[in-house]
Chain A
């Protein structure tokens, strides 16, 4: 399974960031959670949110309701929407797959496949 992010590298303050992650070699309706993690320049990783094919979702409460992660089944991809962007949102954004153990038990906290990442800067 391979993940590939796509989206703008530059967003203006107060605008909405929209990123897409295309899944190849697998299906978004497999029993995995699909999500997003970001890494700030020179700093640690931050969980953004995730979704499952039944439309269940979990989000980082520190993002104060600005985030939506959704699955686009026909195109075998999933997306991130982050509203009201500020300079503090400048980071490398990675799409990820939640790991599972057979038959379909989620391994909490484990993301076994990562996209290569897309750098997003917020600037006017």
Chain B
């Protein structure tokens, strides 16, 4: 059972905008920044958002992150087939003194 809660799946047709949610508590998302990871089949996770809304170099601006209270969201605009992957949110948890992850959301491009 993951500390952070994500929907198991999300989908949308090419070109559309999809949002994935991540819900936590005060000790993690409420007090600390959120990161998002993209996991393509057979590959290692890739950091796509950090500090709630910052993109590492090379990540397209079609991906954006936001946070409000104890919840966060990842939005992917202009869906492309290459976006089909699992997306995991993460945050530091001050009570556990470590990183906690969401269970992951499988994004399907219809």
Task: Spell out A's residues near B (CB within 8 Å).
Answer: 37, 39, 43-47, 49-50, 58-61, 94, 99, 107-112, 114-117
Contacts and interface: CB of A to CB of B under 8 A. Distances in A.
Given A58-B98, A60-B96, A115-B44, A110 B51 contact: yes
Given A37-B99, A45-B88, A109-B91, 9 more contacts: A45-B45, A60-B98, A99-B47, A107-B33, A107-B50, A109-B34, A110-B33, A110-B50, A111-B47
Contacts of A43: 103-104
A11 to B, nearest CB: 21
Contact of B101 (A45, A112, A117): A45
B101 A47 contact: yes
A59 B98 contact: yes
B98 A99 contact: no
Nearest to A107: B50
A40 to B, nearest CB: 10
A109 B90 contact: yes
A94 B50 contact: no
Contact of B102 (A44, A61, A110): A44
Q: Which of B2, B34, B92 has the most CB of A within 10 A?
A: B92
Contacts of A37: 45, 99
A49 B34 CA distance: 18
Question: Most chain-A CB neighbours within 10 Å: which of B44, B88, B102?
Answer: B44
Contact of A58 (B33, B45, B51, B97): B97
B17 interface: no
Query: What 6 A-B pairs come out closest when comparing CB atoms?
Result: A108-B92, A110-B50, A114-B44, A47-B99, A44-B103, A45-B101
B50 A44 contact: no
Nearest to A101: B51
Contact of B98 (A61, A94, A111, A112): A61
Nearest to B97: A58
A110 B92 CA distance: 9
